[in-house]
Copies of this chain bind each other. A is one copy, B any other.
């Protein structure tokens, strides 16, 4: 009881991450709009890049969306000719999802545009600091949501 712990040696992680993420989304929404994409549309294209996905539910989960919410997004992307979406012959309940050539091109152009602007922000960091930040962020972003949420348990 004699000593008092220093309060707030650092700001809360969430208090820094959440506004930063919100600002980045506000930045990216109009940029994606110029490529004819919404935020979720772009997320779907990213989730489909390089790999065919067998069900819409799996895609939804992989991008952190609700399965009911991707439906309208997939409708739009299909109307725009950016994705293929066909019933799986082996299980006609499922829909095989993949990028069209045009979808791959649109995604690549949008991503280049996005990352160019993100790089302008990252330029505020020193070269080594930037590399360390990105490496650490990739590590943390790869931690499954469930494991993070589980840290809320009392005893942890």
Nearest CB of B to A81, in Å: 20
Whether A24 pairs with B111 at a CB distance below 8 angstroms is no
User: Which of B12, B130, B145 sits near A118, CB closer than 8 Å?
Assistant: B12
How many chain copies does the complex carry? 2
Whether A17 pairs with B137 at a CB distance below 8 angstroms is yes
Task: Give the residues in chain B near A1, CB-CB below 8 Å.
Answer: none
Task: Give the residues in chain B near A2, CB-CB below 8 Å.
Answer: none
Task: Give the residues in chain B near A71, CB-CB below 8 Å.
Answer: none
What's the tally of chain A residues with a CB closer than 8 Å to chain B? Answer: 61
A28 in contact (CB, < 8 A): yes
8 additional A-B pairs beyond A17-B141, A133-B140, beta carbons within 8 Å, are A13-B121, A13-B137, A16-B140, A16-B141, A18-B25, A22-B64, A23-B145, A121-B148
13 examples of A-B residue contacts, CB within 8 angstroms: A10-B138, A13-B24, A14-B24, A18-B25, A19-B64, A19-B145, A20-B137, A20-B148, A23-B143, A31-B152, A120-B156, A124-B140, A129-B139
